Amino acid sequence: MKRVLVTGASRGIGRAIALRLARDGFAVALNYVRGQAEAEAVQAEIRGFDGRAELLAFDVGDRAAARAALEGDLERNGAFWGLVLNAGVTADGPLASMPEQDWDRVVRTNLDGFFNVIQPLVMPMVRLRDGGRIVTLASIAGLTGNRGQTNYAATKAGLAAATKSLALEVGKRGITANSVAPGFIATDMVAGLPLEEIKESVPMQRLGTAEEVAALVGFLFSAGAGYITGQVLSVNGGMA
């Protein structure tokens, strides 16, 4: 059974992706940094349909902690065939009044997390000699920009560019690397936003679901997506 890692897997889009990949027959490592009870609930749900899931707690923004956790897991269980970099945070506000710590925290988690998680795992994946899948979760904000999200948009644009570059580096190994860029998805991340106003800006007049994002990730992990790499694929209800 092929092993995959999903970061930020305890809730929202990460939870939906973990469940989808487990149902598709992968053994899933569920990363989380807080919310152990939520992560354990996802693990129990996966085991409830005879799927395989383990917990792997570390902060993707903490380079030393991430490396220690990942190297320990590699030693115990071997390389991952697939990676989903989903963990992310927001700290919204106008750039002119944005506290330094809000910029730094978003960059550290969303963008530094790319290096902290993927860099230790790429060569072990290559040495499997079995191809592989890497998916990063970008955002429509990284494609179009968004008022009050200069920090978040910058990290998501950086993720997309980094993923495209990685695709060029690992393609000859049969490993694909793509970004999925959700629009407005019904998760905790949109709590407190003017939802009716947001729906009016979406051609399909509704928010997306975490399961709709997970369906695309599931396809990118399938054999049928073996020739798709270096792409940014949006799930946004038709937003430009």
Q: Which amino acid is at 24?
A: D
Our answer to whether residue 152 is catalytic in this structure is yes
Distance CA 148, CA 153 (A): 9
Beta bridge partners of residue 6, listed in sequence order: 30, 84
One DSSP character per residue, 129-157 reads: TS-EEEEEE--HHHHH--TT-HHHHHHHH
Domain definitions of the chain by residue range: 3-235
pTM: 0.96
Angle between helices 12-23 and 36-48 (to 10 degrees): 20
pLDDT at 197: 77
Question: What CATH class is the domain 3-235?
Answer: alpha beta
The active-site residue out of 26, 58, 114, 152 is 152
State which residues of the chain have pLDDT below 70. 191-192
Residue 189 has, within 13 A of its CA and on its CB side, a CA count of 25
pLDDT at 219: 98
Radius of gyration of the chain (CA): 17
pLDDT at 186: 86
pLDDT at 120: 98
